[in-house]
Amino acid sequence: MRILHELGEGLRIALEAVRTHKLRSALATLGIVIGVFTVTLMATAIAGLNNAFTNSISAIGSDVLYIQRFSWGPSQEWWKIRARQPITMVQGKRLADRATMAEAVSMESRANETVKFQDRTASNVNVSGVLASTAQVHGVDLSEGRYLNEAESDGARPVCILGATLSENLFPYGGAVGEWIRIGNARYQVIGVSARVGSFAFGDLDNIVTVPLTRLASDFVSNPEVTLTVKVGTGVPMAEVQEELRWIMRSIRKVPLGEDDDFSINNQQSLLDTFGKFSAMAGSAGLFITGLSLFVGGIGIMNVMFVSVTERTQEIGVRKALGAKYRAILTQFLAEAATICVFGGLLALALAWATTQVTKQWLPATISPAIATLALSISATVGIIAGFLPAHRAARMKPVDALRSE
């Protein structure tokens, strides 16, 4: 009970001291605000990016391999990768004919065009050229209509499937299926509307229109560079499928024996590994900035507390003369330092919350209770550490010396 009484009394005196010196206390919290704001925003942003990234790459599929000119991971010999020749539709057809362990093989290519319907226009729309077999590789989730069939895919029919965002922009009242739209200078009939996928970072994954790859090649991009997508069969080891595809591609592209592959076989895991490295680097940079800010903030708190001890020397002498023990004086000044820092932590949380409200349209992230608790804990800990030396100095004063000082 005595300890609780001392804690309560120390906190009361500390709050009174903070109220008495508002400006000084506010200036002392500046470093703490910057440090806690940084760690809160960094932790929130990384958590938001992780969630958004995980949701976005779920569409990639853990059992799908992507054969491309470039690697999804970092490469030390980037100049060699840039010199690689594009993968063509002809090479994709040869791979599909020769692959024996794959469940399905498809091809994809992309362009950007303006899409119009009557007086409504959508700019910078992602035009995705695919084959009918893409439905087997990725699966299809439509909210209206149907997907491409083989006759439309092989015959370069002018049909398309709208992404959810594009459909809402062009057809705000629905009824897209069956209508004719203009993609670039070509007319296409809408046969389906995709279910909503969502957005990632600064990109809307639903601002897309899907057309037959053969049609994309004739209307927008002659001899397009393609990505080959391969679905691994159920129960078949991915490593074995990947090895078969590797040797088929080396044969098709006539890579001499002993030379490195002039293509890359990517999968979901390689993307996760790359993103994991990026998150670790961002986290390390954030920790360095946070540590530096908290160190500067801690020095500021320490200086303020030394000034406070000097100004209140006689007060300390009176309390010591009336019987206040070392622990009571120590608790009082530690509580004052911790109060200043927790106030700074609360202000930092408010600023971080306001920032996430502004950026949530690009990065969906919220401050979780765990992050808020961590931020306030860091604030209080910095206050206690920074305030210990001044508090210890105050608690060790002799009553006679303290009362004698001016």
pLDDT band for position 177 (50/70/90)?
A: very high
Q: What mean pLDDT is predicted for residues 350-374? A: 75
Q: What is the pLDDT of residue 351?
A: 85
Q: What mean pLDDT is predicted for residues 262-277? A: 77
* Number of C-beta neighbours around residue 96 at 10 A: 18
Q: What is the pLDDT of residue 123?
A: 92
Q: What are phi and psi of 194, to 5 degrees?
A: -75, 150
Q: What is the pLDDT of residue 390?
A: 78
Examine the domain organization and report whether 143 and 203 are in the same domain.
Answer: yes
Nearest to 89 by CA among 154, 157, 147, 138: 154
Tens digits of per-residue pLDDT, 83-120? 888 999 999 999 999 988 888 899 999 999 999 999 99
Given a cut of 90, whether residue 170 has pLDDT beyond it is yes
The distance in angstroms from the start CA to the end CA of the chain is 35
Task: Share the mean pLDDT of the chain.
Answer: 80
142-145 vs 186-194, strand pairing mode: antiparallel
Given a cut of 90, whether residue 290 has pLDDT beyond it is no
Q: What is the pLDDT of residue 158?
A: 96
pLDDT band for position 200 (50/70/90)?
A: low
Q: What is the pLDDT of residue 222?
A: 85
Q: What mean pLDDT is predicted for residues 133-149? A: 89
Q: What mean pLDDT is predicted for residues 283-295? A: 74
Given a cut of 80, whether residue 365 has pLDDT beyond it is no
Examine the domain organization and report whether 179 and 287 are in the same domain.
Answer: no
Examine the domain organization and report whether 8 and 109 are in the same domain.
Answer: no
Q: What is the pLDDT of residue 239?
A: 86
Three-state DSSP class for 59?
coil
Nearest to 335 by CA among 301, 375, 295: 301
Distance (Å, rounded) from C-alpha 31 to C-alpha 295?
Answer: 8
Looking at the 3D structure of the chain, how many domains does it have?
A: 2
Residues 290 and 38: beta-carbon distance below 8 Å: yes
Examine the domain organization and report whether 336 and 252 are in the same domain.
Answer: no
Q: What is the pLDDT of residue 315?
A: 72
Examine the domain organization and report whether 330 and 191 are in the same domain.
Answer: no
Q: What is the pLDDT of residue 114?
A: 95
Residues 98 and 292: beta-carbon distance below 8 Å: no
pLDDT band for position 185 (50/70/90)?
A: very high
Residue 394 or residue 351, greater confidence: 351
Q: What mean pLDDT is predicted for residues 6-28? A: 60
Examine the domain organization and report whether 312 and 206 are in the same domain.
Answer: no
Q: What mean pLDDT is predicted for residues 345-355? A: 84
Residue 9 or residue 286, greater confidence: 286
Write out the H or E segment, with its range, that includes residue 203.
Answer: strand 203-204
Write out the H or E segment, with its range, that includes residue 317.
Answer: helix 313-321
Q: What mean pLDDT is predicted for residues 271-297? A: 73
Give me the domain span that covers residue 107.
64-266
Percent of the chain with pLDDT strictly greater than 70: 81
Examine the domain organization and report whether 261 and 277 are in the same domain.
Answer: no
Given a cut of 80, whether residue 307 has pLDDT beyond it is no
Instruction: State which of 251, 266, 281 marks the end of a domain.
Output: 266
pLDDT band for position 361 (50/70/90)?
A: low
Angle of helix 326-359 relative to helix 268-311, nearest 10 degrees, comes to: 140
Examine the domain organization and report whether 88 and 158 are in the same domain.
Answer: yes
Residue 291 or residue 61, greater confidence: 291
Angle of helix 268-311 relative to helix 313-321, nearest 10 degrees, comes to: 80
Examine the domain organization and report whether 247 and 367 are in the same domain.
Answer: no
pTM of the predicted model over 0.75: no
Residue 222 or residue 193, greater confidence: 193
Distance (Å, rounded) from C-alpha 10 to C-alpha 18?
Answer: 12
Distance (Å, rounded) from C-alpha 49 to C-alpha 47?
Answer: 5
Examine the domain organization and report whether 109 and 240 are in the same domain.
Answer: yes
Given a cut of 90, whether residue 283 has pLDDT beyond it is no
Examine the domain organization and report whether 112 and 174 are in the same domain.
Answer: yes
Residues 371 and 40: beta-carbon distance below 8 Å: yes
Instruction: State which of 220, 239, 266 marks the end of a domain.
Output: 266
Residue 322 or residue 370, greater confidence: 370
Residue 399 or residue 178, greater confidence: 178
Instruction: State which of 266, 288, 305 marks the end of a domain.
Output: 266
Q: Which of 71-75, 108-112, 160-164, 335-339 has the lowest mean pLDDT?
A: 71-75
Examine the domain organization and report whether 242 and 346 are in the same domain.
Answer: no
Q: What is the pLDDT of residue 80?
A: 73
Most confident among 27-36, 186-195, 270-279, 346-355 (mean pLDDT): 186-195
Q: What mean pLDDT is predicted for residues 121-133? A: 93
pLDDT band for position 39 (50/70/90)?
A: confident
Residue 59 or residue 144, greater confidence: 144
